[in-house]
Amino acid sequence: MIKEYYWNYINYEGLKKALKTGYVTEPTPENTKPDRKAWTEDDERHFVTLLESELDKVFKFQQYKSEEIVRRIQESDKDVDDVVTRLNNSNEARNSGRSSINPPSDEEFLMLEQVLSDIIADVHDLAKFTQLNYTGFQKIIKKHDKQTQWHLKPVFAARLNAKPFFKDNYDAFVVKLSKLYDLVRTKGNPIKGDSAAGGSQQNFVRQTTKYWVHPDNITELKLIILKHLPVLVFNPSKEFEEEDSAISSIYYDNPETWELYEGRLKKTEGAEAIRLRWYGGMGSDQIFVERKTHREDWTGEKSVKARFSIKEKNVNDFLAGKLTVEKVFEKMRKEKKKSEAEIADYEQLAREIQYRVITRKLVPVTRSFYHRTAFQLPGDARVRISLDTELTMTREDNLDGRQRSGKNWRRMDIGVDWPFSQLPPEDVERFPYAVLEVKLQTQAGQEPPKWIRDLTASHLVEAVPKYSKFIHGTATLFPDRINLLPFWMPQMDVDIRKPASRHFGIQRPWTSTSLSVNDTPEDDEDTDDELDDGRNARPQRGSANGGYEQTALFEEPDGNALDIEERIAAQPLPGDEDYPLYDSDDESFDSDELEEARRVGGTYYYKQLAKYYVHRVASGGFELVKALIPRPMPTNIPAPEQNGIAVMGNKRTIKKFQAPKGKRIHVPIRVEPKVYFAAERTFLSWLEFSIMLGTVAAALLNFGEDYITFACSWAFTILAALSLIYSLMLYIWRVDKIRKRRDVKRVYYEKWGPTIIGLGLVAIMLVNFGLRVRQSGFTRKEPSPGYPVPGTPSNGTIPGGRDDL
């Protein structure tokens, strides 16, 4: 709680006391907590009166502070405009040789920056005040309904909507403060350039990292970024409206094969995504046709996004092939605003997209909608940060017998009217977080600015590499048709909020009077109470009830310096290195593939079914043999109750994420050509070893004279043949798994083959040595004729004499 706002917060403790009625009997030492009296209508009336007064208090204070901030921004706008005008007049006078006008000093700019920083801190505090009070009202209503069995939540929801203190949008504040702060920070000389900053370019090549942002941290994150980068406004002369920041995209795919979805998910070389995008409302006439192409790192190329614009009225004819590419760019060629080379590139792109849409039978499947706040220096695309809020995905297909888009390229029953309450639940997916994208264009070896490194490593964001709106929306909106899920799906059930691991965030220029804390104490009675709001109903990290630890994973000082896969890989569980994070380790004969084969049917299904049962029988027999062999047995330990990754002090536990039946979680695996070559080199090493054993066996067989040599040659021959067959099967299996990008540890680690071959060699050598010792150690050879037995006299002379030869 903020000290200055203390008396304007919801009186949560007072409302809790109002929920407690008197005892039926007086407490005694034997019965310290007797039953309470039943909740009556007078109790309900008294509680509602208190609740109404608290709501009115919070609402009026929020309105007052909001109006105060508006007035302060207006005053600062006048002050900044006055200082900038004086600066411009002074520069003009100096350039024209007239008498100099007193220019503003650095101290004036510094003072204005401090004033704006204080306003930014007030906006941040007001946003936190609003969030905390909204949480308090939600929790007290839930507690009331639970304890009294009188349902107040539906009625009070209407009261909240009548005084919507929690629905205040701070985007207008952010845009205005960004403009003023940029003027002051640059001392009246802001960087000017193309405000589209890339809108006129055809191709984009950037290094992009993506993060999730909890709704509680959105306003704070915007205020932090605007201190370093201004908000990118496409039309500075127009007053900011919420519709201006809306972006909608229609993604196309083949609903029979989902080839574009799987290609983008698996990150195969050359995988494409085709979408149609427009900015603003449904009345926008300019539609951008875009194609994203994924390039693997080993190719030496970067993934690229190419696009061209087309009039909305021409989209249907263009996608159907009725409108030729030359006709699309006819006007552009007449205006001569682009060179012939640029127009030729546009036409080539348009032909390729039109050909793919027609030949691959691509239709609209998923729409993504969000409000984007972009931070960038105009005309300078080296650092670009975008924050997408109110992200929502909707279905655009005509499957299941429902005509959503019909024969049009998009459905027309929705626009920018978020949250699209008119749609049925199965047609809409409202993403619970905002998506932060940091796009950098830095030279080789150059590090990003320090403030960006601090921001991405802070508690405000959660790194989710390779997150895709298209992949997430398609996977969630088509659960009956999509069986391969992205790797971040298990993370959706985890609260991404983390406590501040260090002092990072909005700071006032002077000594702050805020006594804010990161965590509010839970109720003494309902410590496990969760809000009904979906985004708050997830288990908290570090909660006492077996949730997730709310500190950076594995206690790293920079929590997001590495993404979650890299951090897990860097610190495996001691003694349990083979434990898989996702259920992808034993997928060859898993029931997932059986479910997929059942959908295909025919002989393919029966073949997979037979393979499945053979594998089950073989594995069962192997486990039976293992159980019968006398050996030390491990102590059974009950499975931990935590889900996912829990960090408690120095102890870590990991539970395998289980995909739904018939589905599989795809773990990103980078496969380069050198991986295939490495598998081939490994097979050639096995082959060389098998040939060496075969050569030894052939030599023993051809030059041996007794049964021991003959037996050893046969043993080496059998071992060489087994090694050759095993290595060939292993090579074929590895190449198949690499091609399918399956995360199976046996692709890289094989313990049985080398162990059996090594033990076989040791056994053959020991047996051979033992038989030879037995053959020569218990029989004494007779001396050859003409040679004396050592140690006996020759011709009766004394041993050692001159006649002794």
Burial 657-679 (b: 16+ CB within 10 A, else e): bebeeebbbbbebebeeebeeeb
Beta strands in 198-285 (DSSP E): 203-204, 207-213, 246-253, 272-279
Phi, psi of 486 (to 5 degrees): -70, 155
For residues 706 and 771, is the Cβ–Cβ distance under 8 A? no
| 3-class secondary structure, 699 | helix
Measured CA to CA, the distance from residue 18 to residue 325 in angstroms comes to 72
The conformation of residue 200, written as its DSSP 8-state character, comes to T
659 to 134, 231, 429, 665: CA distances (angstroms): 35, 41, 19, 6
The answer to whether 210 is a known catalytic residue is no
| Rounded CA separation 561/197 (Å) | 28
3-state secondary structure of 499: coil
At residue 419, what are phi and psi to the nearest 5 degrees?
A: -95, 25
The string of DSSP letters for 741-797 reads T---GGGT---HHHHHHHHHHHHHHHHHHHHHHHHHHS-PPPPPTTSPPTTS-STTP
The type of residue at 85 is T
Instruction: For strands 664-665 and 484-485, give the pairing.
Output: parallel
**Which residue has 């959105």 as its token pair?**
218
SS (H, E, C) 420-485: CCCCCHHHEEECCCEEEEEEECCCCCCCCCHHHHHHHCCCCCEECCCCCHHHHHHHHHCCCCCCEE
For 40-79, the DSSP string reads -HHHHHHHHHHHHHHHHHHHHHHHHHHHHHHHHHHHHHHH
Name which of 244, 269, 297, 565 is nearest 416 in CA terms.
244
Tokens of 609: 């079914």
Quick one: 275 exposed, middle or buried, by C-beta within 10 A (0-12, 13-18, 19+)? buried
The one-letter amino acid at 329: F
d(CA 785, CA 116): 117
> Structure tokens of 564?
């979650």
Q: Which residues pair with 385 in a beta bridge?
A: 375, 438
Strand partners, 243: none
- Is residue 342 a contact partner of residue 350, using CB atoms and an 8 Å limit? no
Segment (H or E) for 395: strand 380-395
Q: How many CA atoms lie within 13 A of 562 on its CB side?
A: 13
Both tokens assigned to 578: 């083979």
What backbone torsions phi and psi does residue 10 show, to the nearest 5 degrees?
-60, 135
Determine the angle formed by the axes of helices 259-266 and 469-477, rounding to 10 degrees.
130
H or E, element range at 360: none
**Catalytic-labelled residue, pool 439, 469, 498, 737:** 469
Assign 124 to helix, strand or coil.
Answer: helix
Catalytic residue numbers, as ranges: 469
